[in-house]
Structure 1
Amino acid sequence: MSVFRIELRRTVAPWVPVAMLVVSLGLLLFSRGPWSHGSAAWNETWLTAVRWPRYLLVLMWPIIVGAAAIQGMRDARAGVVELFGSTPRPAGQRAAMLGLALGLAAAVGYLVLVAAGVGQVVAKGGLFTTAWVTQLVLGVLSVLAGVALGLGVGRLLPYPITAPALAVLVLAGGLFTQVSGVNGVASNAVALLGIGQVAPHGPFDLPKPAVEIGQLAWLLGIAAAGIVLLLARSARIRVLALLPVGAGLAVALPLFPASSAENYVPDEAAAALVCDGPVCVTRLHEDWLSTVVGPGKEVLQRLEKLPQHPTRVVESTEPYRDNKVGPRDPSRVLLQKDNYVLSDKSGPRLTMTLLSGAGTTQCHAASYGGERNDREDAARWVMAQWLAGSYSPPSSYVAPQAWTDSAWAALKAVPEPEQTARVAAARQLELTCTGDPLKVLMEGAR
């Protein structure tokens, strides 16, 4: 223990967790970066509190590897390699104390980051499942592998340029693998070999067990290679460090899916439905049920005016995206918790929002703009007003009032059965994301 305390005191180990936390917590708390994902944010569930620190390893790993490399070259830079080699104490024991000090410090920094997220999740009553355990193991193993690799490379190449060059190389490689996982620049296997986890698709997905096993084998290979480099005394033995790396790749690559779309499986625990009659939300958002149950039942009641009307209001487990595609299930009105359109809405405001498009989700992204999208917005507004039984003009940022006024006048000018037929036809276009629903409301289906 005295040797261990000396290593802690005389190395950069105490500063490693400080640097890790400054970088990661600074980004998580004060920046709206790629981790601002609504229900998939780092402080929403136990799982996301563990997954986002893994994502941020792309920034923490260069700190870990670079600091370990500085310590790995310590003996050579001090000129005591031959002296220590002549002592009876095994080299492994000396290396173990150094590795333990750095590894423990880095692991503590990582676990403090995870605990910061978990603490917020517990405080707000976020969802608890056991899926986070494997992700935590992989995150801690990534940290320890970085320590082992840095120490080994520092012992192998004891030059002043080694630590900064290694940190830059690790950062560049990590960023490349993450970017390639998003836009498909490289193969899916390259993205999964990166030390920082690819950003989750949403709050209702889990990495496939095969992906986690492959990453476990790869990280163990990196850690073993670093240990071999740290303990090796000859060039011949150092070459053996390639063996665990090759073994890790041999296990991981066949397990990794060919496509990034196959990296995840549904999180059945989070996506399980909690219902109050015909209105259902996911277990992840169970506390939202009391907000949507009243408006949801009213929406279903009003939609009974239409033929083939929906019979359930169900929260969708698809991640909210800007691009919408059809066709949709006509028997359900879909909710998306992370859809900004529903943000902070309740009561009559939520009812009118759900009635928009006669209980359908929009086909375009509001940020795209353009005449086609404006026409869809106008049609969706008029359909909601017709179902509500009265008309009020929209705000300018919701839909163009000139089009809504014209469509409402044209719709109310025809008999009630024709009005119903037009709204039903426009709803069908919204379900399939085809045609011009505004034209149907004004002129009828032809």
Structure 2
Amino acid sequence: MTGPVGLELRRGTGLLLAAGIAVTGVVLVLVSLVGPGSRLQWSVSGPGLVPWLNSVALLLGPMAGAAGAWSGSRERRLRVDELVAPVSRPRWQRDVASFGAMSVAVGAGLLIVVAATFATVAGAVTYSGGRWPLSMLLVALGYLAWLAAGVAAGRLFPYRWTAPAIGLLCYLVGGLPTYLHTAAGQLAPVGNLPGADGWQLRPGVAALGAGWLLALTVTALTAGAADRRRWAALPATVAIAAAVALLALPVRWTGKFNTAAWVVGDPRANERVCSTDTPRVCVRRVHANLLPEVTAVTRAALAPVRGYTFIEEDPTTPPGVRPAVAPGELVVIPNLQGRTQPFTGALRDPGELTRTSQDWAVSAWCPQLSAAGDRAYTTARELVSGRSVPGVRDPAGWLRDYLAAARLCDTTAFERLAGS
């Protein structure tokens, strides 16, 4: 590779940036594999990988911004700007070439991170549909915006402290919206981009996000590189218009995200894939690889419970939150996103799925549960786990009566059961 782009990659910041992104990203993947908990940060699908690759941008994106600032400030920081001033090539062309080289470096580093992440679940992928490429496009545009902001800052403030300052600023700008449940958080989609198994971006909102990030990139490059900075007014106007449109989007809770306006369900991913015998166990198509193990685990876990005919994966409930459904013929089990064991395709933590399935099966979804109801639930939880409870001589009959009371929120029955 020759010319300014090749020179930037070989002797500039490009190779260091690519290596830094790749090494940091792979280390984050490895740390997540051995981390505690029953879930991975990503799942066995295109939509399931995007949230992880988006979230690591909170750390990798500021690296791109800092590297851009270091590259952009190089001429004046090294006091060679007067030497290159007589060169016939305009400054904006040199800066665009440098930005292009840095973009290649960012892309190369990210490809290694993507490959490392995908390798952990490649053998278990059963669904690759949906609009996840749109999400990946927005993530890529976010990196370009960070990089352009860094280059512009380096041009305008050519000091040694500019690069670390821009890195910190990018981290704050990208990370703070995670804690802001307001429309302003939608102006920093990268690092906070909604996505999960069974969800996909709305094309219109994705186009707004892409326009916003592209306009920011062009504005930053024009302000930092052009001899006449007033040309930055045009892309800045586009950026403002896109920002106003994003701020106007409502902020609503979907069950997983606060940015409900960004996403819509993916019908194909959420189709049921079920066992053929009874009780039927159904998971979503996006988790079809887990059906045999989930069937065995949940049937064994719910063996003490009688009267149900379906076991179905809940499509929307996030970890740690139980769905508002009544016990009866249908037993709901947790969302299976992230429950695949890396490199094997097996269920990551059968014990945790057993405990959660038992808990949900006997929970009484009543508006207000009395003290007797709480005591009855505790007894039911013990019985469904296979443990004996003093005073309960017929566990199967007791559970049958409890589930009937829970279905109707029968306070009188709870009191009788709690006293048995």
> Shorter-chain TM-score category?
0.7 to 0.9
Task: Tell me if structure 2 keeps the 8 A contact 1:221–1:245.
Answer: yes
CA distance in 1, matches of 2:167, 2:63: 7
SS in 2 for 1:314: strand
What does residue 250 of structure 2 align with? 257
Stretch deviating more after TM superposition (289-298 or 214-223): 289-298
What does residue 60 of structure 1 align with? 60
CA distance in 2, matches of 1:240, 1:34: 47
Change (3 A) 1:47 1:299: closer
Within-5 A mapping of 1:200-279: 203-234=197-228, 236-237=230-231, 242-254=236-248, 256-261=249-254, 262=260, 263-277=262-276, 278-279=280-281
Identity of aligned residues (%): 22
Task: Tell me if structure 1 keeps the 8 A contact 2:69–2:154.
Answer: yes
Deviations 1:100-137 (A, max 9, x none): 11110011111221121122222334532243211221
One-letter amino acid of the counterpart of residue 21, structure 1 = A
Aligned CA RMSD, in angstroms, stands at 3.9
Within-5 A mapping of 1:86-101: 86-101=86-101
Change (3 A) 1:345 1:154: closer
Change (3 A) 1:440 1:128: farther
Within-5 A mapping of 1:19-168: 19-31=20-32, 38=39, 41-168=41-168
CA distance in 2, matches of 1:74, 1:191: 33
Change (3 A) 1:338 1:285: closer
Task: Tell me if structure 1 keeps the 8 A contact 2:175–2:191.
Answer: no
What does residue 176 of structure 1 align with? 176
SS in 1 for 2:269: helix
How far the C-alpha of 1:95 sits from its partner, in A, is 1.9
Deviations 1:224-251 (A, max 9, x none): 1122123322454455563343133144
What TM-score comes out, normalization by structure 1 length?
0.75
SS in 2 for 1:334: strand
Unmatched runs of 5 consecutive residues or more in structure 2: 255-259, 340-346, 366-370
How far the C-alpha of 1:442 sits from its partner, in A, is 4.8
CA distance in 1, matches of 2:80, 2:356: 73
What does residue 328 of structure 2 align with? 330
Change (3 A) 1:281 1:240: closer
Task: Tell me if structure 1 keeps the 8 A contact 2:126–2:288.
Answer: no
What does residue 198 of structure 1 align with? 192
Task: Tell me if structure 2 keeps the 8 A contact 1:42–1:51.
Answer: yes
CA distance in 1, matches of 2:356, 2:232: 65
Relative contact order (C-alpha < 8 Å, sep 6+): which is higher? 2
CA distance in 2, matches of 1:312, 1:44: 24
Name the count of aligned residue pairs.
Answer: 397
Match of 2:284 among 282, 289, 310: 282
Change (3 A) 1:153 1:239: farther
Task: Tell me if structure 2 keeps the 8 A contact 1:13–1:102.
Answer: yes
One-letter amino acid of the counterpart of residue 441, structure 1 = L
Change (3 A) 1:268 1:234: same
One-letter amino acid of the counterpart of residue 281, structure 2 = V
Deviations 1:364-409 (A, max 9, x none): 9xxxxx9986752322333x48xxxxxx6x2xxxxxx6xx212x13
SS in 2 for 1:280: strand
CA distance in 2, matches of 1:234, 1:112: 38
Change (3 A) 1:33 1:148: farther
How far the C-alpha of 1:318 sits from its partner, in A, is 2.9
CA distance in 1, matches of 2:227, 2:103: 22
Change (3 A) 1:298 1:78: closer
One-letter amino acid of the counterpart of residue 268, structure 2 = A
SS in 1 for 2:69: helix
CA distance in 1, matches of 2:233, 2:158: 17
CA distance in 1, matches of 2:348, 2:48: 22
What does residue 397 of structure 1 align with? none
Change (3 A) 1:156 1:372: farther
CA distance in 2, matches of 1:31, 1:295: 25
Are 2:412 and 1:441 equivalent residues in the alignment? Answer: no
CA distance in 2, matches of 1:436, 1:264: 44
Unmatched runs of 5 consecutive residues or more in structure 1: 365-369, 386-391, 395-400, 413-418
Task: Tell me if structure 1 keeps the 8 A contact 2:199–2:265.
Answer: yes
Task: Tell me if structure 2 keeps the 8 A contact 1:337–1:343.
Answer: no
From the CA coordinates, give the structure whose radius of gyration is larger.
Answer: 1
